[in-house]
């Protein structure tokens, strides 16, 4: 009887190990972004201006950036995931520059005056390959529909509106994907 149990255990353990190995081989590998976070300054007009922390991640199946700031605050009560946030970054790949955008409605509920916290926002426009870099680009002039680095499309009981921000500095370090 013990021989039967040992064989069954060995067979079961081998099957579980094989299934685990197969599932791990199908999972996308995590890829490190260096540095994992960087700061830049942004001017968001009435919402404030100051330091913003950008946190980048690459799961292997998706690239994301999270946006956090204690200097820039929410101006209205926000229901969870009610704001579409879009961040524009300059991409450099092989010496050529272009733009990528991270965008999504990913955030918790917030009260007026709460610190800014959105994301992780998925890559929504453009592409990034291993070795590409992205950076905030300092813009001159007031934030507007034609001059922005970061925008918030807000839907609340009062209606829908868009708030714009401009980067006023590059990042403390560009992200290398």
- Domain boundaries defined on the chain: 1-28, 37-176
pTM of the model: 0.81
- Altogether, the residues listed in the chain come to a count of 177
Reported as half-sphere exposure (CB side, CA atoms, 13 A), residue 51 has a value of 6
**Hey, CA dihedral for 77, 50, 57, 101, is it positive or negative?**
positive
User: What's the CA gap between 83 and 120, in Å, rounded?
Assistant: 13
Mean pLDDT, the chain, integer: 86
Statement: residue 136 has pLDDT above 50: yes
88-92, 124-128, 152-156, range with the lowest pLDDT: 152-156
pLDDT digits (tens, 9 = 90+) for 22-52: 444 444 556 789 999 999 999 999 889 999 9
User: What's the CA gap between 105 and 115, in Å, rounded?
Assistant: 17
**What is the pLDDT averaged over residues 113-142?**
96
Tell me whether the omega of the peptide bond preceding residue 120 falls within 30 degrees of 0, making it cis.
yes
């Amino acid at each position: 009887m013990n021989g039967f149990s040992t064989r069954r255990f060995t067979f079961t353990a081998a099957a579980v190990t094989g299934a685990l190995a197969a599932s791990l081989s199908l999972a996308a590998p995590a890829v490190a972004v260096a540095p994992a976070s960087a700061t830049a300054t942004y001017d968001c007009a009435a919402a404030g201006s100051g330091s913003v922390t950008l946190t980048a991640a690459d799961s292997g199946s998706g690239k994301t950036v999270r946006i956090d700031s204690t200097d820039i605050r929410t101006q209205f009560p926000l229901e969870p995931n009610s704001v579409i946030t879009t961040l524009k970054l300059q991409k450099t790949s092989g010496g050529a520059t272009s733009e990528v955008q991270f965008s999504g409605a990913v955030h918790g509920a917030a009260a007026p005056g709460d610190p800014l916290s959105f994301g992780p926002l998925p890559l929504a426009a453009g592409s990034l390959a291993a070795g590409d870099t992205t950076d905030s680009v300092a813009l001159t002039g007031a934030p507007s529909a034609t001059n922005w680095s970061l925008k918030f499309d807000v839907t609340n009981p009062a209606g829908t509106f868009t708030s714009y921000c401009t980067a006023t500095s590059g990042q403390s370090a560009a992200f290398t994907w």
